[in-house]
Amino acid sequence: MSCARVEPHNRRTGKRCLLATRVSQAFSCRREKVLAKAAGIWYAVYVVARMASGKDTDGRRYRSLGAMWSARVGGEEGEAQWYASSKEYWSRQEQSINGMLGGLGELHDTDVAGSLQFIRDVCALETADVRVRAVRTELLSRLSRRENAEIEPTTARSPRSHESTCAALHGEQRQLIALDVGSGIGRVTRGLLMQVFDLVDMLESNPESLAHARELCKREGKLKQLGEQMCAGMEQLGVTHEAQPGPAKYDAIWIQWCVIYLTDAHFVRFLQQCARSLKPGGAIWIKDNVVLRGGFVVDNSDSSITRTEAQMQRIFQQARLQVVLQRQQRDFPESIFPVMMYCLLPVDAHEMQATAI
């Protein structure tokens, strides 16, 4: 019986073939990994570029915010035209809650409820800064007393009952002062801020809106809570005589649905001025449209820009503000932009707060 034998030469050849096969497989595997990594990097770059880019409502695309501002604003003349367009748009709107909300007046109650809950959430956070804690504790106390009192809607209250309710809620504690930026007819001033703050100043560029707001406050018995009414645009805050809020005056600066009208440079400068206008322990509150998927959007009808989340965060960093808490407004229709709420503290104040958490 014969037995098959493999000659030494053939064994060496077989080993070489096996080694070559394994080397080829290793290189192939490595090549696939390199290609996969390159594809991942390319996709990440594509996503970042897409998020950094944007478009306007006429379909024109921009590779970046800088490119958009260069094309749309340019020098001082373009900047003035940008702001004039938005002011002209709002001068044509109805002086009512429905007009202030762009025809979506039914969102008012949901909006106010979401803002009140966000204030509660922020005030419930622990902090080592006694100044911040004092403001938050007082706000929480007022919100609790308000809930326990089961206050009926402001439209159903007489002037006397509203004033007596405020006295009961606020008591003899420290006076809390807020600024409502882009206040319009005082929808947020009357519906939200006057529920928890003793005095509310208003910053609004439309004099007719300010006059109407005063009349509504008088009609609802809230005139004593109405402070200074400054008729100026946000880009003028701290620049013109009409927009001098005074240093360290506010416990809260509420900015809702209006930073979309500011250029990036003015947005940063505006926030810096707001920070200088805060009392120790005060905070800046922003509630506005934000793009959570995709790039920024410029609305040509009113010269506004809805920024991405990353672009908003970059603005906050440039203004040396730290996000204490952020939340998305719930129960709004999917057909509109997502609405984000931010509570911001100057970086120094936030660092003091963070040391003992």
pLDDT band for position 357 (cuts 50, 70, 90): very low
Tokens coding 228? 């200074």
- The predicted structure's pLDDT at residue 356: 36
CA-based angle 6:10:16, to the nearest 5?
135
Measured distance CA(42)–CA(65) in Å, rounded:
21
Residue bearing tokens 């808490």? 325
| pLDDT bracket for residue 34 (50, 70, 90) | low
pLDDT tens-digit map of 285-334: 999 999 999 999 999 999 999 999 999 999 999 999 999 999 999 999 99
The mean pLDDT value of the chain amounts to: 85
Confidence of residue 20 (pLDDT cuts 50, 70, 90): low
Q: How far is CA 330 from CA 47, 106, 129, 172, 338, in A?
A: 27, 14, 30, 35, 9
User: What is the spatial distance between Cα 54 and Cα 298, in angstroms, rounded to a whole number?
Assistant: 8
Helix axes 130-149, 108-123, angle to 10 degrees: 130
Q: Which fold has domain 78-354?
A: Rossmann fold (3.40.50)
| pLDDT value of residue 42 | 43
Instruction: Give the per-residue SS3 of 258-280.
Output: CHHHCCHHHHHHHHHHHHHCEEE
Average pLDDT of the segment spanning 201-206 = 97
Q: Which of 97, 217, 227 is nearest to 162 (CA)?
A: 217
Q: Please tell me which residue, 162 or 213, carries the higher pLDDT value.
A: 213
Q: 186 and 216 in contact (C-beta within 8 Å)?
A: yes
Domain ranges of the chain: 78-354
**pLDDT tens across 211-224, in order?**
999 999 999 999 99
Query: Which is more confident, 41 or 260?
Result: 260
Q: Counting beta carbons within 10 angstroms of the beta carbon of residue 111, is it exposed (0 to 12), middle (13 to 18) or buried (19 or more)?
A: buried
